[in-house]
Amino acid sequence: MTTATLPLSIHFPGKLVFSKGTLNNLAEEILNFNLPKVFILTIEPLLPKLQDLIHNLEGQGKTVSVDTSIVQEPSFADFENLLRAARQINPDVVVGIGGGSVLDVAKLVAAQLDNTQTLAEIIGIGLLKGRSKKLICMPATSGTGSEVSPNAILVDDADNQKKGIISPYLVPDVVYVDPLLTMSVPPQITAATGLDALTHCLEAYTNKFAHPFIDMYAYEGMRLIAAHLVKAVQDGTDEEARSQVAMGSLLGGFCLGPVNTAGVHALSYPLGSTFHLPHGLSNALLLPFVMEFNLPAAPRRYAEVAQALGCPPGHTDEETARKGIDKIRHLIKACGIPARLREVNIPESAIPGMAADALKITRLLKNNPRPISLEDALNIYQAAY
């Protein structure tokens, strides 16, 4: 990997605020736009925490509409329904406060509200032509990094496949990260989303197109999450652990535009689209097995991953790298996450179909340090079974 010579294109949000309790400043941020209509996409459990925000905006004469219709990984139909409702309101500012699914949809709504392009026309990389509405994102989980990424993922109702819309216009104008907002996330979701964030960093660092600028974010993200995730899972009230994992997740989000993910995510997609497993859990189930498959192609990189995860170096890169794979297995177990496909009721008979579906995710597979054939995909799933 001749990383230093690779081109780099990165789109940062216009403003990023990371601070405990920063939700309290969000109303002022929205008011700074001096625009009349605000549309907030969020989830039902967060509504009590958002009452002050809504009250403050309305007190300043703003019209505030709230939508909580996104409750799982969104489909094309979910998005189109929500967009129709949003067009009735025609807001000036779209605010996404929630997990990755809510943020992805908020980003797309802001872009599509007055865009003449159809959803079908913007699927893929760099096809979205613009966004005229203001966009603010605030994550309520430490996982997807969607708040700073140019990506949005939807499930296509026609073929049940996850499709990506990737565009710099999906990067928000303003991002607020308040680790205290993640305090009420249950242990199981804290674990799955944290392992998702760790996978973003790990797949960026070991990527065929890894870049030294992104390596900084990826390495530090792995280090923070590995050191603090178990504590955040076991004691959700630990503000320090929550803050460190939130920062690791944010760093993982910065990896997603310029470098993106690879084999783990490609193979995890069918688990989400076919069996509706949470995205983070899908990644966690496959991560150690894809690492084992990739290790021969990038032993030095995987050895550095192991050291980021807190493992002492061995005598060789391969020995060190294997400690890293063991560390990932230990983290998964310590977080109480299932370690095998059979533990989440995926039938062995589904493996050939999943392998065929995973091979369609070429935009991610091309990033993998080792090419994955149909036979390889079958073998990885079988090993994970």
132 and 224 both lie in a single domain:
no
23 and 169 both lie in a single domain: yes
The structure's pTM equals 0.95
End-of-domain residue from the set 163, 182, 201: 182
Tens-place pLDDT, residues 312-324: 999 999 999 999 9
- Domain residues for the domain of 365 are 187-384
pLDDT for 4 beyond 70: no
Q: Do 156 and 36 fall within a single domain? A: yes
pLDDT at site 151: 94
**Final residue of a structural domain among 121, 153, 182:** 182
Q: What is the pLDDT of residue 117?
A: 96
The pLDDT score that the predictor gives to residue 210 is 95
Q: Given pLDDT bands bounded at 50, 70 and 90, which one contains residue 98?
A: very high
Among 156, 182, 208, the domain-final residue is 182
| 168 and 223 part of one domain | no
The helix-helix angle for 279-294 and 187-205 (nearest 10°) equals 40
pLDDT, position 5: 64
Q: Using alpha carbons, list the distances in angstroms from residue 300 to 174, 295, 296, 320, 324.
A: 37, 9, 9, 9, 12
Confidence at 177, pLDDT banded by 50, 70, 90 = very high
Q: Mean pLDDT across the chain, nearest whole number? A: 95
193 in the same domain as 174: no
Residues 216, 111 share a domain = no
Task: Give the pLDDT confidence score for residue 3 in this predicted structure.
Answer: 52
Based on the domain organization, do 91 and 231 belong to the same domain? no
Predicted confidence (pLDDT) at residue 2 exceeds the cutoff of 60? no
Identify the pLDDT of residue 15: 97
Q: Are residues 230 and 121 both part of a single domain?
A: no
What phi-psi label fits residue 94: left (phi over 0), alpha (psi between -120 and 50 degrees) or beta? Answer: beta
Residue 65 pLDDT greater than 60, yes or no: yes
Q: CATH number for the domain including 11?
A: 3.40.50.1970
Residues 261 and 373 in one domain: yes
CATH number at residue 263: 1.20.1090.10
Asked if 223 and 244 count as a contact pair (C-beta separation under 8 A), the reply is: no
Residues 58, 110, single domain; the answer is yes
Domain co-membership, 146 together with 248: no
The DSSP result for 133-165, as a single string, is SEEEEEESSSS--GGG-SEEEEE-TTT--EEEE
Q: Which two tokens stand for residue 53?
A: 């925000």
Question: 135 and 271 in one domain?
Answer: no
Structurally, the chain folds into a number of domains equal to 2
